[in-house]
Amino acid sequence: MWYVTALKGTYWTYCNHSFLNREQSGYETIYLIHMEKMASLFSLTKEVISFLFVILNIYSEADLLVGSMEATSDGMLASPGVAEKGYFDLRMTVSTSGGHSSVPPQHTVSDHDDISVSHLWLIFILHLEHRYSCGFDCTTGGEPIHTPSIQRTTLLHNSSMSSPDWYQYGWGTSWLDREIKIQR
């Protein structure tokens, strides 16, 4: 039994059939669509159902984005993610000889260069954080950062630079004829 949670009721209110169960969730009407019933009712093939599944997901995704849009002075802004940062967890381990706290071994005595693992640990962490506080670019020397962190070649596709309207509202929505321009 396949169920797909999807869709705004606005688009599908005419589909008031037995394969459709309506629920209210937050602001939107959520429809549970019984795909098998739908397929038998309309004699649809699995391929068609699969296609519908994709379409429903697109609307569902769009609805999620609508729910997370934020208001700006010029209207609402939705930002589907087209890129994702990398990920790395580092495990740092310091090992030295220990000892009883009442009789600290020689290497932990403060007037020596060597210090205890606890002190070392603080030093390592503080040092790492200090080096990152000025950004990743400045780790190779004390020179000023010449390369801005915002790169034209990163999120901004090269071809976008040829367009004067890359940041304007309604980008690429001509298929709905709903393009809206910023009032400059």
Partner 1 sequence: MDEELRDLIEKSKYNDRALAALEKKLFAIDGLAEALSKTTQAVDIIGGGVKSNALPENAFAIVNHRIAQHRPVPMNNRLRNVDSDIHNSSVSAVKTHVADVLLPLAKKYNLTLDAFGDGLNATSNVVSSGRLSLAQAWESALEPAPVTPWIDNPAFDFLAGTIQAVAKTSKRWNNPDIPVAVAPGIMSGMFPPFTDNWIISLNSFSSKSGNTGKSISTIEHGSKHETDLHLM
Judged by CB under 8 A, the chain residues 25 through 54 that form the site for partner 1 are 27-29, 54
DSSP state at residue 113: S
62 binds partner 1 (CB under 8 A): yes
Piece of 13-21, 35-43, 45-53, 169-177 that binds partner 1 (CB under 8 A) = 169-177
- Tell me how far, at minimum, the Cβ of 118 lies from partner 1, in Å: 6
For partner 1, which residue of 18, 25, 43, 95 counts as binding (CB under 8 A)?
95
Considering the complex, state which of residue 32 and residue 123 has its C-beta at the smaller distance from partner 1.
Answer: 123
* Residue with the two structure tokens 């000892």: 99
Q: Which residues inside 98-117 make contact with partner 1, applying CB under 8 A?
A: 98-102, 104-105, 107-108, 113-117
Distance separating alpha carbons of residues 123 and 117, to the nearest angstrom: 10
Question: Cβ(134)–Cβ(143) under 8 Å?
Answer: no
Distance separating alpha carbons of residues 175 and 170, to the nearest angstrom: 11
Considering the complex, state which of residue 43 and residue 101 has its C-beta at the smaller distance from partner 1.
Answer: 101
The CA radius of gyration of the chain, in Å to the nearest whole number, is 29
- Tell me how far, at minimum, the Cβ of 183 lies from partner 1, in Å: 9
For residue 11, what are its two tokens?
């688009």
Q: Is 24 helix (H, G, I), strand (E, B) or coil?
A: strand
Question: Cβ(79)–Cβ(66) under 8 Å?
Answer: no
Piece of 15-23, 30-38, 39-47, 132-140 that binds partner 1 (CB under 8 A) = 132-140
